[in-house]
Amino acid sequence: MTTTDRKYQYREALREAMIEEMHRDERVFLMGEEVAYYNGAYKVSQGMLDTFGPRRVIDTPISETGFSGLGIGAAMYGLRPIIEFMSWSFCLVAADQIINNAPKMLYMSGGQFGVPIVFRGNNGAGGQLGSTHSWCVESLWAHVPGLKMALPATPRDAKGLLKTAIRDPDPVFFLESERILGIGAHGDKDFSRYLHGKWAPPEVDEDSDENEDFLVPFGQADIVKSGADCTIVTAGRPLHFALEAAEQLEKEDIDCEVIDLRTYRPLDLQTVLQSVRKTNYCVVVDQSWPFASVAAEVAMQVYEHAMDDLDNKVIRVNSDDVPAPYNRRLEQEMLPNTRKIIEAVRTVTYNT
Amino acid sequence: MTTATGKKSSSSSQPRDGGRPSDQLDDQRLLELLYDMMLIRRFEERTMQSYMQQKIGGFCHIYTGQEAVAVGSIAALRPDDPVITAYRDHGHALARGMHPRYCMAEMFGKITGCAKGKGGSMHMFDRPNEMYGGHAIVGGQCPLGVGIAFAIQYQKLDRVCLCYLGDGALNQGAFHEAMNLAAIWKLPIVFALENNMYSMGTHIERGTSAAHDLSVKAAAYDMRYAECDGMDMCEVYDCFVDQVARTRPDEGDPDNSEGPVLINVVTYRYQGHSMSDPQKYRTREEVGEKQNEDPITTLSRQLMDQQRATQEQLNELDAEAKKAVLEAVKFAGDSPEPELDELYTDVYLEPYPPYRKGDLPQMVEEAEDRARDGDGRQKQD
């Protein structure tokens, strides 16, 4: 199976993954706010109501605690729910259900009740939405054992990881980004040349089942760009900033290796360590706040396992440690961006 | 009928005329149900003793006084109807058929416990007996119960989910969201409100609006409402048989159901909220008065008045319950602790290092063996 650079959007990948898995498994259903009659607040589930009907594509009231908990109960009873959060920012009102019940049920029941559920939706700043609607929940929730967490950055991985998530017997937190739902609409003008050849999943052949097996496994990082001088570790939307940074740094003769972790739980540390052992420098980019962040954790694990291979400290690039501002300029400054990554790489490689 | 705060109105002492569901229960069945109540009572007495002896740790909530609620309502179910409850859950687990030894061993934190010692008093799960926990955050089980009911409807099964909650949960958002979803989708769920009038130390009239008429809580969600006297097993049974039947959909036809119901079961707990409760918020007189309505005494008296059982038979039943509980305590005490490497099992069904797949609890393995031998309940799914 070959991946391609055809015009293909991230949101199409999500939709295709859900449609294929719903055809494959009667137990899978999609539930959330505006997923059915509205055709998805972000058009991810466009057309799915027509295909599957209101029994399997289900609009909810604005009631995150209620429908998150419902999904968990349904999963305990043998179904395979996909619960869409219009934004992960809204999962906070359902926190008791999603972090107390979903990831701990198996343990608390001594292995009797698993919770095969996918919570998915937009994570991170959407663009001037203010602080309550711009949550990056990865560091908050990656803290919790018992869940798995995927953050695809490309349509290829969005499709492959979502199909894996739906088939996984454990709860999966699937973090998308509003800002990348539409990229790919203009073909390869939309993304870094380092992603050429790995943008879109194999095309769906209506007459073949082959496409249905396009799965991306959890816990396997992708070396998006190989390089000799500095390792940049990231996942999700910041991958695109990291690739932009790598393109510019290439002009300064700094050859970055860019690693997309793709899942935070499980975390593919080995790929990171192999890279650091080669480049001896490491920058970790994560769009949540720096304090007790995934970036802090990855940096710490690099220290624990590859201290002797490092020729400088590890530098983290996070969102600034402030609430997300409304002002456009302030917001862009706050988020991890290309400039911050370039500066971090120059600093860590002593090229200032 | 009773009011929300348990004051009896005249209708609760109606003469039995043979027309109620409980009138159809034969002597044997009634004695079984009385035994279940005695078992819970004696079990909880030993639970308290073991707690005082520090064999049980953590938070521990005692069910004495409320036995008729779990026993009467679960008796109205079919064996394949799922049950979910809050943290005062020992009684429900036993009434649903969990062997007392696995329940006690769980509280002792032993590997032989229903959750291998990982859940404790507040997390009684029993898959073979359709018991979906024991949930420790007030109201948090309500959306889960709605999800089970959703899955029943989705699969077009003719089952009913019985979801218990305490009166404290009436003030939690999760309860209200669950009620709304159950109502708009007409889900096959029975919300059994175990109204013992105290959420920890706060009387229902101090913490809950419309405490004098909880029917308005159901009315707000366009849901059926019923009340019964939770101190009388037969009344509980009658009420639940009726309401469960109305909620139960037809196999293959989920629309043929009258939808969810909220049942206000007025009851009383004899012990404090948990084992560490000094109970400054209520008088000894109040507790004593309620103990005069004791559900076990009531059913015992009913059986003797109707010449359906002798005092001697009842004494034998009680002795049997005591014996079963002593055996459970011995089993729990003799069982081994979990090995330390159990820490890393049961975190994931498809684990990655350092996590590992766990073995099912002894209770489940035995039940599955029995099911394979055709001697017991079939495993679900």
> How far is A20 from A279, CA to CA, in rounded Å?
40
Per-residue model confidence (pLDDT) at position A5 = 73
Q: What residue type is assigned to position A92 of the chain? A: L
Please state the three-class secondary structure of chain A as a single string. CCCECCCCCHHHHHHHHHHHHHHHCCCEEEEECCCCCCCCCCCCCCCHHHHHCCCCEEECCCCHHHHHHHHHHHHHCCCEEEEEEEEHHHHHHHHHHHHHHCCCHHHHCCCCCCCCCEEEEECCCCCCCCHHHCCCCHHHHHCCCCCEEECCCCHHHHHHHHHHHHHCCCCEEEEECHHHCCCCCCHHHHCCHHHCCCCECCCCCCCCCHHHHCCCCCCCCEEEECCCCEEEEECCCHHHHHHHHHHHHHHCCCCEEEEECCEEECCCHHHHHHHHHHHCCEEEECCCCCCCCHHHHHHHHHHHHHHHHCCCCCEEECCCCCCCCCCHHHHHHHCCCHHHHHHHHHHHCCCC
Confidence class of residue A67 from pLDDT cuts 50, 70 and 90? very high
Cβ of residue B359 closer than 8 Å to a chain A Cβ = yes
Residues of chain B with Cβ-Cβ distance to A97 below 8 Å are 140, 143-144, 174
**pLDDT tens column, B70-126:** 999 999 999 999 999 999 999 999 999 999 999 999 999 999 999 999 999 999 999
Of the residues A64, A84, A178, A244, which is catalytic?
A: A64
Contact (CB, 8 A) for A81 and A74: yes
Crossing angle for the helix pair B311-334 and B100-107, nearest 10 degrees? 40
Residues of chain A with Cβ-Cβ distance to B117 below 8 Å are 110
pLDDT of B8 above 70: no
> How far is A134 from A335, CA to CA, in rounded Å?
11
Give the whole-number percent of chain B exceeding pLDDT 70: 94
Cβ of residue B118 closer than 8 Å to a chain A Cβ = yes
> How far is B32 from B39, CA to CA, in rounded Å?
10
Residues of chain A with Cβ-Cβ distance to B135 below 8 Å are 101
What is the torsional sign of CA B33, B35, B200, B232?
positive
Question: What is the average pLDDT across B153-172?
Answer: 98
Per the CB < 8 Å rule, is B132 touching A169? no
Question: What is the average pLDDT across B222-230?
Answer: 98
Q: What residues of chain B, 195 to 234, have a C-beta less than 8 Å from chain A?
A: none
Confidence class of residue B14 from pLDDT cuts 50, 70 and 90? very low
Residues 6+ apart with CB under 8 A from A54: A36
Per-residue model confidence (pLDDT) at position B125 = 98
CB-closest option in B177, B350, B380 to A63:
B177
Question: What is the average pLDDT across B131-155?
Answer: 98
The distance of B180 to chain A (nearest Cα, Å) reads: 8
Q: Which two tokens stand for residue A317?
A: 């690039």
pLDDT of A208 above 90: no
CB-closest option in A73, A75, A266 to B145:
A73
Question: What is the average pLDDT across B302-312?
Answer: 96
Per-residue model confidence (pLDDT) at position A88 = 97
Per-residue model confidence (pLDDT) at position B378 = 47
Please report, for chain B, how many H helices and E strands are present, in that order.
13, 9
> How far is B348 from A232, CA to CA, in rounded Å?
30
Q: List the domains of chain B with CATH numbers.
A: 21-372 (3.40.50.970)
Per-residue model confidence (pLDDT) at position A214 = 94
- Could you tell me which chain B residue has the CA closest to the CA of A60? B181
Residue identified by tokens 């001088």 is A229
Per the CB < 8 Å rule, is B178 touching A97? no
CB-closest option in B149, B347, B364 to A146:
B347
**pLDDT tens column, A269-285:** 999 999 999 999 999 99
A240 is catalytic: no
CB-closest option in B148, B350, B352 to A77:
B148
The distance of A197 to chain B (nearest Cα, Å) reads: 30
pLDDT of B356 above 70: yes
Cβ of residue B350 closer than 8 Å to a chain A Cβ = yes
Of the residues A12, A33, A133, A138, which is catalytic?
A: A133
**pLDDT tens column, A99-156:** 999 999 999 999 999 999 999 999 998 899 999 999 999 999 999 999 999 999 999 9
pLDDT of B323 above 60: yes
CB-closest option in B118, B137, B355 to A110:
B118
Mean pLDDT, chain A, integer: 96
**pLDDT tens column, A234-251:** 999 999 999 999 999 999
Residues of chain B with Cβ-Cβ distance to A79 below 8 Å are 150-151, 154-155
Q: What residue type is assigned to position B371 of the chain? A: A
Question: What is the average pLDDT across A66-71?
Answer: 98
Per-residue model confidence (pLDDT) at position B4 = 47
Give the whole-number percent of chain B exceeding pLDDT 90: 91
- Could you tell me which chain A residue has the CA closest to the CA of B347? A146
Confidence class of residue B264 from pLDDT cuts 50, 70 and 90? very high
Residues of chain B with Cβ-Cβ distance to A148 below 8 Å are 348
Beta bridge partners, A222, equal A260
> In terms of residues, how long is chain B?
381
A133 is catalytic: yes
Per the CB < 8 Å rule, is B151 touching A105? no
Cβ of residue B124 closer than 8 Å to a chain A Cβ = no
Give the SS3 label for residue B128. helix
Q: List the domains of chain A with CATH numbers.
A: 10-206 (3.40.50.970), 222-348 (3.40.50.920)
Residues of chain A with Cβ-Cβ distance to B118 below 8 Å are 107-108, 110
pLDDT of A309 above 50: yes
| Range of weakest confidence among B80-84, B230-234, B261-265, B367-371 | B367-371
- Could you tell me which chain B residue has the CA closest to the CA of A114? B349
Per-residue model confidence (pLDDT) at position B16 = 57
The distance of A72 to chain B (nearest Cα, Å) reads: 6
Give the SS3 label for residue B228. strand
Confidence class of residue B44 from pLDDT cuts 50, 70 and 90? very high
Per-residue model confidence (pLDDT) at position A158 = 97
Confidence class of residue A184 from pLDDT cuts 50, 70 and 90? confident
Per the CB < 8 Å rule, is B352 touching A108? no
Residue identified by tokens 């939405």 is A129
Residues of chain B with Cβ-Cβ distance to A218 below 8 Å are 352
Give the whole-number percent of chain A exceeding pLDDT 90: 91
- Select from A108, A143, A168, A262 the residue whose CB has the most chain B CBs within 10 Å, as the one to mutate to test that interface: A108
- Considering only residues A213 and B37, tell me which one the structure prediction assigns the higher pLDDT: B37
Smallest CA-to-CA distance from B145 within B158, B157, B156, B134 is with: B134
| Range of weakest confidence among A150-154, B150-154, B276-280 | B276-280
